[in-house]
Structure 1
Amino acid sequence: MIRPHRTHPLWFAYMLHRLSGLGLALFLPVHLYVLAMALTRPASLDRFLAFADNPIVKLAEFGLVFLLAVHLFGGLRLLALEFLPWSGRQKSAAAAALAGAFLVSGSFLLRAV
Structure 2
Amino acid sequence: MKAYANRAHPLWLAYIIHRLSGLALALFLPAHFWVMAMTLTNPARFDAFAEITRLNLLKVAEFGLVFLLAVHMFGGLRLMAMEWLPWNGPQKTLAAAAAALSFFIATLFFMQAI
Normalising by the smaller structure, the TM-score range is over 0.9
Q: How many residue pairs are counted as aligned between the two chains?
A: 113
> How far does residue 4 in structure 1 lie from its aligned partner after superposition?
1.6
Identical positions, percent: 58
AA in 2 matched with 1:22: L
The equivalent of 1:5 in structure 2 is 6
SS in 2 for 1:82: helix
Letter aligned with residue 111 of structure 2 = L
Give the alignment of 1:1-113 within 5 angstroms.
Answer: 3-113=4-114
Q: Within 2, Cα distance between the matches of 1:15 and 1:111?
A: 29
Question: How far 1:52 moved relative to its partner?
Answer: 1.4
Shift of residue 100, structure 1, vs aligned partner: 0.9
Q: Which amino acid aligns with 2:51?
A: A
Moved over 4 A (4+): none
| TM-score (norm: length of structure 1) | 0.96
CA distance in 1, matches of 2:34, 2:45: 11
Q: Cα deviation per residue 1:35-73 (whole Å; 9 max; x = unaligned)?
A: 100000111100111111111001000000000000000
TM-score (norm 2): 0.96
Q: What secondary structure does 2:54 align onto?
A: coil
Unaligned runs of 5+ in 2: none
Tell me the distance in 2 between the aligned counterparts of 1:12 and 1:51. 34
Partner SS, residue 87 of structure 1? coil
What's the Cα RMSD here? 1.1
**Counterpart residue type for residue 78 of structure 2:** R
Between the aligned partners of 1:35 and 1:87, the Cα distance in structure 2 is 43
CA distance in 2, matches of 1:12, 1:34: 33
